[in-house]
C-alpha cells in the first residue's frame, strides 16, 4: 500500500526553481534511497515534506498516509507519522537531551505505553540510547557542543523513540564512524521490521547496503532521472552521476 506519494512536484525558493516534476512513491514498510550530486535538490525535497515555509510548492501534490500533506502544519505531519532526521539538526542550549526525548515519548508513544510510569519510560530511553552507544548524550544540551557524528546518533535516537510510519533521513550517515554507522544501520533494520518505511538520502553506499535498500532514486538538477533496484547502486559506485551530467 502506498504510504507516500509525491506527484509531479515543482518547488521554488525565492522564485528560483529547485525541483521540476518530481514523482516518488514509497510503500508501507519499504526502504528507498534518494541519491544525487550536491545541489540537486535532495534536501529541498525534505524541507517540502516537513513544510518549511521558505520552500514554495508551485505544482503537484503530496499524499501521505492517505492525507494531503501540503494542507497539514508541520506538527500535524509529525503526529501523522512523518519523521525527518535533518542534515544540520537544530541546537537548543539549556534543553537536556533526556528531557527532550521523554517529551517525544509522551507525544508519540503507542497506546499501550501511554500510562507507563516515568521510571519505565526513562529505562526505555536509556535502553535505546545504549543500542546507539549514546547514553552519555542524555545529560547534554540538545546538539550543543556535539560532534557531527553525535548529532546524527541523536537524530537516530529520536527516531527510535517516535517509531514513525515514514522516516526521512537526510545524510544520517555523514560524520559517523564505522561502529556508529553499523549501529544506525541495525536500528533502521529493526524499525523496518516493526513497519517503519524509510527514504534515505546519502552520498555513501555503505549504509544503503547495510539496510538493503530496495529501490534507488537518482535526483539530478531537480529531476529524478533514474529509479531501479540495488543494481543501480553498483552502477553509481562505478561511474557516479556522469551519465546524467553531460548536458
pTM: 0.93
pLDDT at site 92: 96
| β-bridge partners, 17 | 12
| pLDDT given at position 247 | 59
pLDDT in tens, 51-72: 999 999 999 999 999 999 999 9
Show the domains of the chain with their CATH numbers: 2-244 (3.40.50.300)
What integer pLDDT is reported at residue 29 of this predicted model? 95
Residue 13: the pLDDT is 92
> Nearest-CA neighbor of 10 among 24, 23, 20, 25?
20
Query: Alpha carbon 206 to chain centroid distance?
Result: 16
Report the distance separating Cα 231 and Cα 205, nearest Å: 12
Query: According to the model, what pLDDT value does residue 191 have?
Result: 96
Mean per-residue pLDDT over the chain, rounded: 92
Under DSSP, is residue 235 helix (H, G, I), strand (E, B) or coil?
helix
**Cell numbers at 220, concatenated:** 539530478
Amino acid at each position: 500500500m502506498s504510504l507516500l506519494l509525491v506527484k509531479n512536484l515543482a518547488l521554488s525558493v525565492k522564485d528560483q526553481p529547485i525541483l521540476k516534476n518530481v514523482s516518488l512513491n514509497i510503500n508501507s514498510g519499504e526502504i528507498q534511497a534518494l541519491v544525487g550530486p550536491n545541489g540537486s535538490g535532495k534536501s529541498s525535497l525534505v524541507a517540502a515534506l516537513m513544510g518549511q515555509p521558505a520552500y514554495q510548492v508551485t505544482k503537484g501534490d503530496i499524499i501521505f498516509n492517505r492525507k494531503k500533506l501540503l494542507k497539514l502544519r508541520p506538527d500535524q505531519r509529525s503526529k501523522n507519522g512523518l519523521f525527518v532526521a535533518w542534515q544540520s539538526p537544530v541546537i537548543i542550549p539549556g534543553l537536556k537531551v533526556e528531557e527532550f526525548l521523554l517529551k517525544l515519548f509522551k507525544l508519540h508513544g503507542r497506546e499501550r505505553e501511554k500510562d507507563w510510569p516515568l521510571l519505565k519510560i526513562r529505562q526505555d530511553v536509556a535502553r535505546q540510547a545504549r543500542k546507539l552507544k549514546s547514553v552519555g548524550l542524555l545529560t547534554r544540551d540538545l546538539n550543543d557542543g556535539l560532534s557531527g557524528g553525535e548529532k546524527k546518533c541523536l537524530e537516530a535516537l529520536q527516531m527510535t523513540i517516535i517509531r514513525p510510519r515514514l522516516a526521512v533521513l537526510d545524510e544520517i550517515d555523514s560524520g559517523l564512524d564505522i561502529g556508529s554507522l553499523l549501529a544506525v544501520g541495525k536500528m533502521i533494520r529493526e524499525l523496518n521490521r516493526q513497519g517503519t518505511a524509510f527514504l534515505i538520502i546519502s552520498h555513501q553506499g555503505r549504509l544503503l547496503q547495510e539496510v538493503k535498500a530496495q529501490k534507488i532514486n537518482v535526483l539530478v538538477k531537480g529531476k529524478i532521472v533514474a529509479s531501479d533496484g540495488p543494481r543501480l547502486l553498483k552502477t553509481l559506485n562505478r561511474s557516479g552521476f556522469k551519465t546524467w551530467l553531460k548536458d
